[in-house]
Structure 1
Amino acid sequence: MKQMTTTVTARIAPEMRAAVEPILASNGVTLSEFMRLCLVRLRDDGVMPFEIPQASRDLKKSTAALMAAM
């Protein structure tokens, strides 16, 4: 396997990590492997491996606009 040369850090609540790790483990993957699989799908297929609801995209735009206005 090619050596990993970049570290990506994601900030998530401890409760979120505790909730998802057993689900991932039951599917035979770690949290790091899941993140890597998502990125590979994005790179190879040019699409997100899941749908992002419009409300989340709208919230992100609204937050960015508020931060820019400050």
Structure 2
Amino acid sequence: MKALIESIITPLVDYPEDIVVTKTEEDTKIVYHLTVHGDDVGKIIGKNGRIAKSIRTVVYAAKNEGEKRIYLDIM
């Protein structure tokens, strides 16, 4: 899942070397924390959050049946 998130984000940003994806696992969910360069945050969020919503939709759809719920936190 980390590779999927990085492959989606990399073409969108100016500083791909600053992409950091960390994973936190809890009892009922898995949270991926995405951190990008300060200048790239607006590109990841998009107008009215459209790009962020689209990225989250793709990530949530990639979850396998029976896995814990997945969340994507963009910082």
TM norm structure 1: 0.32
- Larger strand share, 1 or 2: 2
Return the index of the structure with the highest Cα Rg: 1
Q: Whose RCO is larger (CA < 8 A, sep 6+)?
A: 2
